[in-house]
Amino acid sequence: MQLAGSKVAVVGGDAREREVIAALAASGAVVSAAARPPGEPGATWCATVGDALAGASALILPLPGVDVRARVHAPLVAEQFFINASDLERLLPGAPILVGTARPCLSEPAARLGHPLVELAEDDELAIYNSIPTAEGALQMAMERRLITIHDSRAVVLGLGRCGTTLARTLAALGSHVTVVARKPADRARAFSLGLAATDYPDAVPALAAADFIFNTVPSLVLTAKLLALTRPECLIIDLASAPGGTDFAAAERLGREAVLAPGLPGKVAPVTAGRALARVVLARLTAR
């Protein structure tokens, strides 16, 4: 897709999309925006979603996308905005739709109208970029909630995916004694290659029982009530997985453990950095089409 001279619609989103709009405008695209505050540099503000989509060669939706009622994620404005099939009909034929994850209320009319969906939630490039502000945001939360340093603390990272790898390396760089808990032997080998202690879940009890901080990145229940009962009362648990997380939060509350669910940190703690990363990925996906 040639961006110069093409109309691209940006609907909804938070401060990250300001960076997307700026990058699109710098590439020569004509940007129309809806469900966002008026007056943003680089974009023509539209009062309705349909007006923003009219004649657009592509549609950019926020990473949270739309809810089950097709309401667009638009935290910067008070009004609620919805997107429906009649809006999508105003896009140019074959215009791609970029979104984090598409619910059926978006994916079904898009498919019926011939608009390909590009779902970015599992995009490796974007996830690796986002792992950096996620790790820094998690450390910020840890330092704000405890009266000890990261240096010389005992930290456990559950999972060694894209986020877990960056977090574990950052903790170690600050002098924390890090143990990675991972099911896959290859992940434990990777942790070993990074100079980190590594163990499987059945053997993780000693590390969990000694931890000052536990960071979960696994989007399924791994911190059960049984394991939580073995942790120290002053241990802080920060769950970075998507809701509902991988921690039994009800059990944590009963046990008096502080456990915080903290998904979506990039857009909260570093929206400019996260927005620039999103802009790079969006432009790359559009120009590759």
Measuring CA to CA, which residue among 129, 111, 110, 133 is closest to residue 120?
A: 129
CATH number of the domain to which 220 belongs = 3.40.50.720
- Give tens-digit pLDDT for 116-174: 999 998 899 999 999 999 999 999 999 999 999 999 999 999 999 999 999 999 999 99
pLDDT score for 121: 87
Are residues 130 and 184 both part of a single domain?
A: yes
What is the C-alpha separation between 167 and 161, in angstroms, rounded? 10
Instruction: Give how far Cα 115 sits from Cα of 54, 122, 227, Å.
Output: 14, 20, 47
The answer to whether residue 286 is domain-embedded is: no
The answer to whether residue 117 is domain-embedded is: yes
Query: How are strands ordered across the β-sheet holding 117-119?
Result: 43-45, 30-34, 7-11, 58-60, 97-99, 117-119
Are residues 118 and 189 both part of a single domain?
A: no
The answer to whether residue 272 is domain-embedded is: no
Q: Tell me the one-letter amino acid at 151.
A: H
Positions of the chain with pLDDT lower than 70, given as ranges: none
Reported for 82-87, long-range contacts at CB under 8 A and 24+ positions apart, including other chains, are 82/49, 83/11, 83/49, 84/109, 85/109, 85/112, 85/113, 86/50, 87/49, 87/50, 87/53
The answer to whether residue 279 is domain-embedded is: no
The answer to whether residue 58 is domain-embedded is: yes
- Could you tell me if 96 and 58 are in contact, meaning their C-beta atoms sit under 8 angstroms apart? yes
Q: Which domain range does residue 15 map to?
A: 7-122
The answer to whether residue 183 is domain-embedded is: yes
Are residues 101 and 50 both part of a single domain?
A: yes
What is the C-alpha separation between 5 and 156, in angstroms, rounded? 50
Are residues 233 and 250 both part of a single domain?
A: yes
Last residue of a domain, one of 122, 147, 170: 122
The answer to whether residue 281 is domain-embedded is: no
The answer to whether residue 283 is domain-embedded is: no
Are residues 132 and 263 both part of a single domain?
A: yes
What is the C-alpha separation between 268 and 206, in angstroms, rounded? 33
